[in-house]
Structure 1
Amino acid sequence: MSGGPPSRESIPQACRPDHAVTSQFVGSLKCSLASGDEKAVTELLRTQIRHVDAIIELNNDDWMKEPSARIPPHVLLGLWTLEYTQELTTPLCITCAHGYTECARYLLHRRADANAAPGGRSPLHEACIGGHGDCVQLLLEYGANANKKSEDGLSPLHYCNTNGSLRCAELLLQHGAIVNQVTEDTQDTPLHVAAQLGLLSHAELYLVRGAMIDLKNQEGETPLSAACRGKGGDEDSYLEICRLLLKRGADPDTQDQQERRPLHHACREGKHKLVELLLAANVDVNATDYSGVLPLSCALQSAELHCDKKPQIIVRSLLNHGARCVCPEAFGKVLRYCSGLPEIIALLYNSYISLQVCSKWKQEISEEVIQTHQYFYTRFFSLSGSIRSLQHLCRFALRRHFGSRCHRLIPLLPIPKPIQDYLLLINEGSLL
């Protein structure tokens, strides 16, 4: 925003706290909190607060607040804003956020408001964020609202977003928390949150308590899609959640608003175990999203981002389940995305009956990659105009005959294991 700074009269009157950030009390309180000194915090809250529900200002960067304040340089340049940060809280919010149960009990016994939220979050929200089950139990016993939403539109259950918060979630549900309550902005249920973060025990709890398994959020994602797209935990956690959801009847081919399916997300995130699980559930391996993107394209576009996860396993699995290969005219684009992973280039090359290698494709590959994989690309570009071997032509004919059943039928053939591997494109980057 440009122009001159606003007049002081145009700034809304800020909330006046009982204890300002500049006070000696708040300074001492912040020091004690930073050092984790529970006794010092308790002593301060017992002896120096004005009343049990006093509003405490922990932070305020409003440069307009004091007439004598030094104006920041960005304001002098005309890059001013009406927004600033003011962090307000209460003694009960502070103690519950840090898990100081005895101090919270002291405040509640003196009738502290268990639902007060001057900073946007109530003591119950703060306790759930920290995974402090004893504080959650205490607050609920003193009448805290298990379904109260924060200023951000999240219920206490939505703040149970760590493995350590499982007991908090159990207590909330025992005291009437709505398991299918959605957030205001994204329409996520607690099951969506658990799936996004790889929280298996939370997901099991919510399903036992009646969570709707295919409920969609604002983006049209179900919990299964959320788990396939999740980035917070390890892949095994997401695998177990997806296995649980599928076992409970989740639709493996559900579409979001962009017509993306769980398989698209799993491929884009490089989660090969999830891809295998979804393929075993008979999903459509050639389903396109709204932009016409295939799961194989998702895997190729993100392959170098997930090179540590061996994305070639995903590409091979998709091809062995009948994925349509990239049209030959677009192979140069594939090199642009995947040139640093010759195993993938070899897989794709071996999935064609023949492919006319073009020397101009070298322009899509950086010099650094060429040097790193010099042997492979020297061999690759030497194939220009060459004829594929009879062995490869037989492999192609057999794979085309089996189609999407390659993964299932080839291992049943009475042939040696090395030949089965050859037919399944397990050849460690060989251009055969």
Structure 2
Amino acid sequence: MSRETFVFTSSTLRALRLQREMLELDERRRAASRQSVSRRYQPAPRSLLYLPKPSRRPQYCRDPAVHNALYTGDLPRVRHIFKDETTANLIVETVTEELVWSTELGSTGLWVLSPQKKHTSPLRILAARGYRDCVKHLLLQGAEVDAIVGGKAALHDSCAHHRAECTRLLLSFGANPNMLSEEGLAPLHLCTTQETLPCAQLLLEYGALVNQYTQDRRASPLQVAAKYGLDDHVKLYLCYGANIAHRNREGETALNAACASADSPEEAGRYYRVVKRLLDGGADVQVAGRKNHTPLHNACSNCHIRIVELLLQHGADANVSNCAGYTPMDCALQAVEDYLEGEPEQVIATLLSYGAAPVNPKMLKFCALSPQTLEVILNSYDRILSCDSWVGSVPPEVWQKHQTFYDSALWLVNQPRPLQHLARCAVRKQLGVRCHQGIAQLKLPSSLQDYLRLPLEGYLK
């Protein structure tokens, strides 16, 4: 047991209390002496009852019995152990063995187990686990509500673990809703799940700054909520005046964050709702963030057809380039192999209908595993000049499964396309960026309108 660690026995606690009382008495005597010397400079003598308390020396605890009482929320044991301000503000210390890279045991280095100390507080442990009655007991005993121990305060933990009742209690005892952790995060930045919505509401009601930024990336709570696809949080923050145009250190807005994070098909719906709410709130669809990616670049990289359509409907540029010179179409093609189940051909067809420039033949190799995507692109050409850029990339099993399509593509190389197809290309070219809405306005039979939209047929003609 370390020099600053003690076992919780009745004699130890009595000794601690006695030592504190002696320190307080000595400090009062010194203060009284200073007052008598400088009394003429003071408007009136101060009562000894209002003198500042001496700073406490931090006390550390490794006692397993204490740890067990805290982690299980054993209220009777907590009341028995934490009886005053000194014990309520203990620092709980744990030592764990962690793998670290060391060069002390060899010239090349080795992974070794090294003891690592971690510190927290009783208040943090209880707040993170939602033991409200235990938290209240510690606060009544004088636990410092805003104490930063181990990098965070208790309010950070209660919000991160969606303990709304503990959050309410801490705030009612004066916890600072804008307190920053050692990592530069306010409690509102730690509300990253749908379950934390009540905590976010409480923080704002108690004065949390809705536009407070993290210290490292200068991300706002709105950007954090957008990144995690939290539609209700986004709505809440906007109601409290969140700055929808704020850009973090990398130049990204909340809209950029939402489109970049929508990379999982099963979470597509909630990110779509976030993007729609941001756009309805006036988010700029053209703002480019990291690597000069616009929201459309990000949505195309994630093959999110509904977000792609939504961004294009709000005026996104289908031909803007990022810092590498890639357009949204290029990003969509590079994502084809990762999202074969997401029907990437729909993203390609949508971009073409909103005026995307013809696809560079060198990019067709990315369609090797998706003949449907390749069919849409080849049907956007008025002729097929060569297949050399992609034919060697098609796996034999894919070729065999879709042989009819590939044979038709090879047969049409340097061959004239049918007049019907040439007319389709001419109409689409004439409509340009209005192709998506112009086709429906043409006085043509529905079958011809469908033909103009580049439907999949499984072969080329």
Structure 1 length normalisation: TM-score?
Answer: 0.85
**Corresponding residue of 1:86:** 117
Question: What code does the residue aligned with 2:60 have?
Answer: D
Superimposed CA distance per residue, residues 19-44 of structure 1 (whole angstroms, 9 cap, x where no aligned partner): 23xx4336645xx84xxx443xx344
What is the DSSP-based 3-state SS (H/G/I as helix, E as strand, rest coil) of the residue aligned with 1:234?
helix
What value does the CA root-mean-square deviation take over the aligned residues?
A: 2.6
Contact 1:161 1:193 in 2 (8 A): yes
Q: Matches of 1:308 and 1:254 in 2, distance apart?
A: 29
CA contact (8 A) 1:147 1:155 kept: yes
Match of 2:430 in 1: 401
Tell me how far apart the structure 1 counterparts of residues 351 and 270 of structure 2 sit (CA, whole Å): 22
The answer to whether the 8 A contact 1:25-1:48 is kept is: no
Q: Of 96, 103, 114, which residue of structure 2 is paired with 1:60?
A: 96
**Where has structure 1 moved over 4 Å in runs of 4 or more?**
71-75, 80-85
Which amino acid in 1 is paired with 2:135?
Answer: A
Matched, 1:263 2:296: yes
How far 1:316 sits from its partner (Å)?
0.6
Cα 1:301–1:110 change in 2 (3 A) is same
- Answer whether contact 2:408 2:459 (CA < 8 A) is retained: no
Please give the alpha-carbon distance, in whole angstroms, between the structure 2 residues aligned to 1:137 and 1:359. Answer: 66
Q: CA deviation at 1:80?
A: 6.4
Contact 2:318/2:351, CA 8 A, preserved across alignment: yes
Q: Could you tell me which amino acid in structure 2 is paired with residue 344 of structure 1?
A: T
Equivalences for 1:304-315 in 2 at 5 Å?
Answer: 304-315=337-348
After superposition, the Cα gap between the structure-2 partners of 1:390 and 1:17, relative to the gap in structure 1 and judged at 3 Å, is: farther
> 2:118 aligned with 1:76, yes or no?
no
CA–CA separation in structure 1 for the residues paired with 2:176 and 2:68: 31
Moved more, 299-308 or 233-242: 233-242
Distance 1:347 1:387 in 2: 18
CA gap of 1:382–1:205, structure 2 versus 1, over 3 A, is: same
SS at match of 2:94: strand
Aligned partners of 1:17 and 1:57 also within 8 Å: no
Counterpart AA for 1:290: C
2:88 aligned counterpart, secondary structure: coil
CA gap of 1:24–1:249, structure 2 versus 1, over 3 A, is closer
Q: Tell me what 1:6 maps to.
A: none
Q: Return the offset for 1:390.
A: 1.0
TM-score by length of 2: 0.80
1:72 and 1:354 mapped to 2: Cα distance? 60
Helix, strand or coil at the partner of 2:454 = coil
- Number of equivalent positions: 398
Q: Which moved more, 1:287-296 or 1:375-384?
A: 375-384
The partner residue of 1:171 within 194, 202, 219 is 202
Q: Which of 400, 412, 433 lines up with 1:383 in the alignment?
A: 412
1:217 to 237, 248, 256: 248
Cα shift readout 1:267-303 (whole Å, capped 9, x = no counterpart): 1111111111111112211111122110011111112
What does 1:274-313 align with in structure 2 at a 5 Å threshold? 274-313=307-346
Distance 1:375 1:44 in 2: 76
Q: Which residue number in structure 2 is paired with residue 68 of structure 1? A: none
Which one has a bigger Cα radius of gyration?
A: 2
Alpha-carbon distance between aligned partners in 1 of 2:305 and 2:198, rounded to the nearest angstrom: 32
Gaps of 5+ in 1: 1-14, 64-70
Contact map agreement 1:124 1:136 (CA 8 A) in 2: yes
Q: How many Å apart are 1:385 and its aligned residue?
A: 3.1
| CA separation of 1:105 and 1:405: change in aligned 2, threshold 3 A | same
Give, as a single letter, the amino acid of the residue that structure 1 aligns with 2:246: L
Are the counterparts in 1 of residues 353 and 434 from structure 2 also a CA contact under 8 Å? Answer: yes
Contact 1:45 1:91 in 2 (8 A): no
Equivalence for 2:87: 51
The corresponding residue for 1:344 is 373
On the 8 A contact 2:384/2:412 being kept in 1, the answer is no
Distance 1:154 1:81 in 2: 32
Q: Is the partner of 1:202 in helix, strand or coil?
A: helix
Seq. identity, %: 36
CA shift for structure 1 position 74 = 7.1
Q: Which residue is 1:186 aligned to?
A: 217
